[in-house]
Amino acid sequence: MRLSYRIGTAALLIVAIILIKRHLDLVQDDSRVQSGWSFNGVSGGEGGGPGLSEPVASDKNQNNNNGANTPAAKGGFSMVGDGKNGPSADHKNNEDDDGIALGSRPMYETTPIIVPNDRVIVMAKLAAEDTAWVSNDLADWRNFIYTVDDINAAKHTPKNKGRESLAYLQYIVDHYDDLPSTIVFMHSHRDGFPVAWHTDTMVYSNVDSIRALQTDFVQRNGYANLRCQPSPGCPDEIRPFRDPPQQGQTTEHVYADAWKQLFNNTDVPEVVAVACCSQFAVSRDQVLKRPLSDYQWFYEWVLTTPLNDDLARHVMEYTWHIIFGQDPVYCPDTYQCYEDVYGTPYL
């Protein structure tokens, strides 16, 4: 009994070793083939030139069909090949390979590059607030959550100024060169009344609204306000030239000066309106329509304006849609807005 067990075990081991060795050989063979290709492509002297430049050259040939590019291609070869850095046997091999490479070029498979989670939620929070719900409930979104009142937090703004404004701008300034295609800017409250009163869904839920968000509309329009209910904000919240002007330091009262500082021009609109509350989505393409320096400029403005926290925030609240390419009055029909932003006219 024992002996037969041992023999059986030994036989199994041998079979396993043979299988593993075969597998390793196969893997090695694969990598040998691959390194052979890359050797041809990168460092194969005369042979290497065509490996790299042939696709371009042959494309050009097809397009131009006049051979004008041949000298250029030859120049390319000679630059690479002048070193005469291979024994002739190598050349021969490479030339053979080139024949194959040329013939089989159209057989290369291409794989589209799909970036997972190509969308992000950007948020400002107070140190005391719990925003774990963002990762838990909106797990297929990346998130960047800035603590505005604790400079020791992993992600933080240098100051608690303009409420969410610095966090929103900080994200753009820091990530201008690697933005995902959809960026949602929103508040730290998950749902419920009164904290999330300005979220449109049944239980004022930012989770429901983001799950329903039509990112293709964001891509098409560049900007989508997450709120469709017109009030407050529409149809004419800010009239910088109201006559007589509002009393005291209201947003409307300070808006014209703020505009001139923000945009370096005096084309202050007669009316500025947008559904309230600074929750919106933008596309990367829309963000990139402005140079990075603009966002740095807005950031600096929020950081340094003598306007208080609340006024600075309100000025930005009535400026985001303009920064992101919309007319000063952005008050789409409520049902159209629901249809566009959430995919149903009856949210």
> In the complex, which residues of this chain contact ligand NAG (CB under 6 A)?
263-264, 293-294, 297
Judged by DSSP in three states, 214 sits in coil
In the bound state with ligand NAG, the residue whose beta carbon lies nearer, of 78 and 293, is 293
How far apart, in whole angstroms, are the C-alpha atoms of residue 342 and residue 217?
Answer: 9
Q: How far is the CB of 301 from ligand NAG (least distance, A)?
A: 9
Identity of the residue, 23 or 289, whose beta carbon is nearer to ligand NAG in the bound complex: 289
Q: What single string gives the DSSP state of each residue in 30-82?
A: HHHHHHHHHHHHHH-HHHHHHHHHHHHHHHHHHHH-SSTHHHHHHHHHHHHHT
Phi, psi of 283 (to 5 degrees): -95, 155
> From CA 329, how far away is CA 319, in angstroms rounded?
10
In this complex, which beta carbon is closest to ligand NAG, that of residue 63 or of residue 264? 264
User: Considering beta carbons, is residue 207 or 303 the nearer one to ligand NAG?
Assistant: 303
Nearer to ligand NAG, 144 or 299 (CB): 299
Pick between residue 70 and residue 293 the one whose CB is nearest to ligand NAG: 293
Closer of 65 and 264 to ligand NAG (Cβ): 264
Alpha-helical regions (H) of the chain: 2-43, 45-64, 69-81, 88-104, 132-137, 165-175, 206-212, 215-221, 251-263, 284-287, 292-304, 309-317, 320-323, 334-342
Map residue 130 onto helix, strand or coil.
coil
| Single-letter amino acid code for the residue at 22 | R
Tell me the two tokens of residue 232: 């407050």
Tokens of residue 127, six digits: 């140190």
Nearest position to ligand NAG, beta carbon: 264
Nearest to 143 by CA among 170, 117, 178, 176: 117
Q: Minimum distance from CB of 290 to ligand NAG (Å)?
A: 7
